[in-house]
């Protein structure tokens, strides 16, 4: 339907959604999981001295980069700023119900705990919080993919563009999961 706002190819794939979600996985998820929060990065960068001209250590900086890739404001899930969540944070917020009720608080608390642990040089606590971040982030992606698959199945009697949109979103999220290899 040209008036729907959805543009699908001849195979019914809405490339915009597949590419957007795939890039969120290839860039944001990968960079956070495999680069900034990886055991190699967290275990090898300094946390004793501030970076020249800055008020943070290299470890703090890398952790803050991962936090930025998640896309939530610092006081998330405060109801005033919850709509400011972007990218993965937006999808985290959409999962904060039913089976995953509380995931907003869980991941936000894990981010804050890990950052405080880095400052306190409590690396065991940091690693536990990072593991929580990695698990919850993957749950957000996988559960969002499943949700879009369900929507795609439920819309089988409706106009095709709704089903194609939902299934294209699901494909993009499933592709995004491919960008986490190490597991921390």
Question: Over the stretch 45-69, which tens digit does the pLDDT of each residue have?
Answer: 889 899 999 999 999 999 999 999 9
The answer to whether 87 and 24 have CB atoms below 8 angstroms apart is yes
The answer to whether 91 and 104 have CB atoms below 8 angstroms apart is no
For residues 37-76, one letter each, b for 16 or more C-beta atoms within 10 angstroms of the residue's C-beta and e for the rest, the string is bbeebbeeeebeeeeeeeeebbbbebbeebbebbbbbeeb
The answer to whether 92 and 107 have CB atoms below 8 angstroms apart is yes
Residue 10 lies in a domain: no
pLDDT tens readout for residues 94-105:
888 888 999 999
Q: What's the rounded Cα separation, in Å, for the pair 90 and 141?
A: 11
Residue 5 lies in a domain: no
Residue 134 lies in a domain: yes
If one counts the domains in the chain, the total is: 1
* DSSP codes joined into one string, 119-180: HHT-HHHHHHHHHHHHHHHHHHHHHHHHHHHHHHHHGGGS-HHHHHHHHHHHHHHHHHGGG-
**How much is the pLDDT for 158?**
67
Both structure tokens of 66? 């991962």
**What is the three-class DSSP state of 5?**
coil
Residue 28 lies in a domain: yes
Residue 11 lies in a domain: no
Residue 129 lies in a domain: yes
Instruction: Tabulate helix, strand, coil % of the chain (nearest 5).
Output: 70, 0, 30
Q: Name the residue range of residue 58's domain.
A: 16-179
Flag the least confident range among 3-7, 40-44, 51-55, 128-132.
3-7
Residue 1 lies in a domain: no
Average pLDDT of the chain, as a whole number? 89
Q: Which contiguous run of DSSP H or E holds residue 15? A: helix 15-23
């Amino acid at each position: 339907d040209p008036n729907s706002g959805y543009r699908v190819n001849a195979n019914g794939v809405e490339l915009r959604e597949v590419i957007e979600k795939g890039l969120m996985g290839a860039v944001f998820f990968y960079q956070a999981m495999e680069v900034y929060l990886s055991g190699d990065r967290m275990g090898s960068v300094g946390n004793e001295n501030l970076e020249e001209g800055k008020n943070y250590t290299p470890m703090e900086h890398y952790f803050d980069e991962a936090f930025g890739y998640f896309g939530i404001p610092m006081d998330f899930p405060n109801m005033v700023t919850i709509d400011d969540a972007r990218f993965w944070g937006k999808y985290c917020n959409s999962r904060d119900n039913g089976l995953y009720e509380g995931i907003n608080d869980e991941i936000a608390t894990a981010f804050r705990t890990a950052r405080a642990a880095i400052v306190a040089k409590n690396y065991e606590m940091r690693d536990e919080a990072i593991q929580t971040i990695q698990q919850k982030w993957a749950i957000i992606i996988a559960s969002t993919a499943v949700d879009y698959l369900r929507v795609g199945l439920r819309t089988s009697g409706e106009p095709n563009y709704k089903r194609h949109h939902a299934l294209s979103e699901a494909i993009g999220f499933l592709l995004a999961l491919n960008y986490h290899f190490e597991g921390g």
